[in-house]
Amino acid sequence: MPASSALFLLLHLLLFLAATGEATTFSITNGCPYTIWPAALPIGGGMQLDSGKQWTLNTGDTNTTRLWARTGCSFDGNGTGTCQTGDCGGLLACKANGRPPNTIAEFALGRPSNRDFFDISFVEGFNVPMDFLPEPAKGGPGCSKGPRCGANITVQCPTSLKAPGGCNSPCTVFRQDRYCCTGSAANNCSTTDYSGYFKKMCPDAYSYPRDDATSIFSCPAGTNYKVVFCPLTNQAVPPSPLPESPAGGTPVGPTTMKPRSSTARTVAAILAPVGGFIFLFIVAFYLCKRRIQRRRETDEEEEEEFGELQGTPVRFTFEQLRAATEQFADKLGEGGFGSVFKGQFGNERIAVKRLDRTGQGKREFSAEVQTIGSIHHINLVRLIGFCAEKSHRLLVYEYMPKGSLDRWIYCRHEDDAPPLGWNTRCKIITHIAKGLSYLHEECTKRIAHLDVKPQNILLDDDFNAKLSDFGLCKLIDRDMSQVVTRMRGTPGYLAPEWLTSQITEKADIYSFGVVVMEIISGRKNLDTSRSEESIHLITLLEEKVKSDRLVDLIDNNSNDMQAHKQDVIQMMMLAMWCLQIDCKKRPKMFEVVKVLDGTMTADLNIEHNFVVTTSANFRSTGNVSSSDPPLASDVSGPR
């Protein structure tokens, strides 16, 4: 843990000199587009604060404290878990200081002169922009206006200080006296290139342990304060003026005409074509220059578009990622939008997704960066950073050593690994459900993944499952039912309602049902290597449930699966509930999680038809009013 600021030590001493019994109120607002978990010591502990929400903190009898925001957290029902930045020992209600990097609001209330002193400190690094203001914000008589730091320092953090989710202080990274103001530099500590960078980005903040007094603010005791994380800043850039049109020629008017000599006519005959050629050359040169300038402006606009994305931990350069992947040598896999490579950045293994510009475009790239960068859950693959440099588009994820789920559930003769047991398969299914439940129910806006399949489910060393590849995701307003107008996703996993363009998050639930059946049976939904009547797993499920032979679908390559037949059949019942053709009859994802946790039972009063075979069959669900849709073979059935 780096040394605390001299101001904070001084404020601790002042606590013992004098105190006031008057309680001060802090109004804490989350202006970030993602959830944070603010914490205060020694008061307040900590809590979850969603985007746009407020928390009122009363200091009581406490006179000195620090306040900070934690990001990237995941807590269980007992209030224990982890945070990417600001973690305080894995507790929701903090009892210890946060782990760097984190932006800290420090204050001491009612010192001997009956005044409050407060500041924003970067002594332990930066993770979230912050304003720390008295109320009213402009201050009253004898009251400072308060420090503001609206800059997202993480985006422009020096390479040597970069950390997942923030920007470290030089003391944390280098542990040297000159940066920590300790030892030989305890009495003559001064600013460095690194602390100068912090000061340049946020002049009001306390940038190193012996920063000057201009970073300390004061108000009369009894003043109330507000802390705003990710405050609004004026980021508007005036448009560049268009180039002026070429000046017009000299006005032409009547002239006194004189007879021309033959020499004059000869010169004119020579100069006319030469002048015309020069004019055409100038026009062509101007047009070519404008085309190059517009192309350069387009590239710059695209880079600026991604330059200030909130919630994204690190922006890498292309050279950094090329070095981290050793020239993109170790390919882990290839998808519809590009290839994924294994890499090493510092002490952390990473997976780098290099996007094909002819595949995933700017819309999909922006969706993936903004969506994954602003949500955090233990069953969602963590986005470490991205690169948007000229034509290069890359995403950097945490590395999942076991790879994708399809490598483990399909029986392959060249794979010597034993088939997964029932408990492992059940754990994977539960983790997928919890990840989808978080997207559908717990985010500020519902998020439909729209491409749930085994290739997009990654596994760690302990077979913990996480959802990945949000390139097709869609944010859904909670009062909207029709949100997607163009077909997307993967054949074999698409819900029937794709035929109508009326898509909600319920499409993910159908895909989840298909994946559950694949996990249980150890085969693909569409397998052309099998006999004609067995090609399509979901059609086979219809036949087996009607003939009471569901046991035939259990993976016969696993003795453990055969030993848990009754449990597996109960899981099939849940899958069939998710596979209802009418999306309104499918469960919500949080209900699926309850069934898996044993606190709820699956609905058994369901239709045993899971595949649309005719347009009339599909109209029976009441979702289509005009035009004949294509057959189900274009959706979840075989092509």
Q: Which residues are catalytic?
A: 451
Burial level of 428, CB count in 10 A (0-12/13-18/19+)?
buried
Following CA atoms 15, 17, 23, 29 in sequence, which dihedral angle do they give, to the nearest 10 degrees? -30
Chain-centroid distance, C-alpha 236 = 23
Q: Is 353 annotated as a binding residue?
A: yes
DSSP string, 308-327: T-TT--EEPPHHHHHHHTTT
Q: Nearest CA to 512 among 577, 599, 566, 595? A: 577
Distance between CA atoms of residues 433 and 586, nearest Å:
14
Q: CB under 8 Å to 317, separation ≥6 — which residues?
A: 387, 389
Chain-centroid distance, C-alpha 512 = 22
Dmax of the chain from CA atoms?
Answer: 114
Look at residue 248 and give its three-state secondary structure: coil
HSE, CB side, 13 Å, CA atoms: give it for residue 386: 29
HSE, CB side, 13 Å, CA atoms: give it for residue 474: 24
Helix (H) or strand (E) holding 529: none
Residues 93, 108 contacting (CB under 8 angstroms): no
Q: Nearest CA to 499 among 516, 521, 484, 514? A: 484
Q: Nearest CA to 398 among 319, 332, 442, 336? A: 332
Helix (H) or strand (E) holding 92: none
Look at residue 50 and give its three-state secondary structure: coil
Helix (H) or strand (E) holding 425: helix 422-437
Q: CB under 8 Å to 189, separation ≥6 — which residues?
A: 178, 181, 208, 209, 210
Distance between CA atoms of residues 120 and 198, nearest Å:
12
> Where are the extended beta strands (E) located within 488-585?
none
Distance between CA atoms of residues 623 and 531, nearest Å:
33
Residues 232, 32 contacting (CB under 8 angstroms): no
Distances (CA, A) of 195 to 99, 118, 153, 335: 19, 20, 12, 43
Q: Nearest CA to 541 among 587, 576, 570, 581? A: 576
Distance between CA atoms of residues 238 and 436, nearest Å:
41
Extract the tokens encoding 205. 């903040």
For strands 314-315 and 383-389, give the pairing: parallel
Looking up tokens 């009892």, which residue turns up? 95
Distance between CA atoms of residues 172 and 188, nearest Å:
19
Binding-site residue numbers for ATP are 353
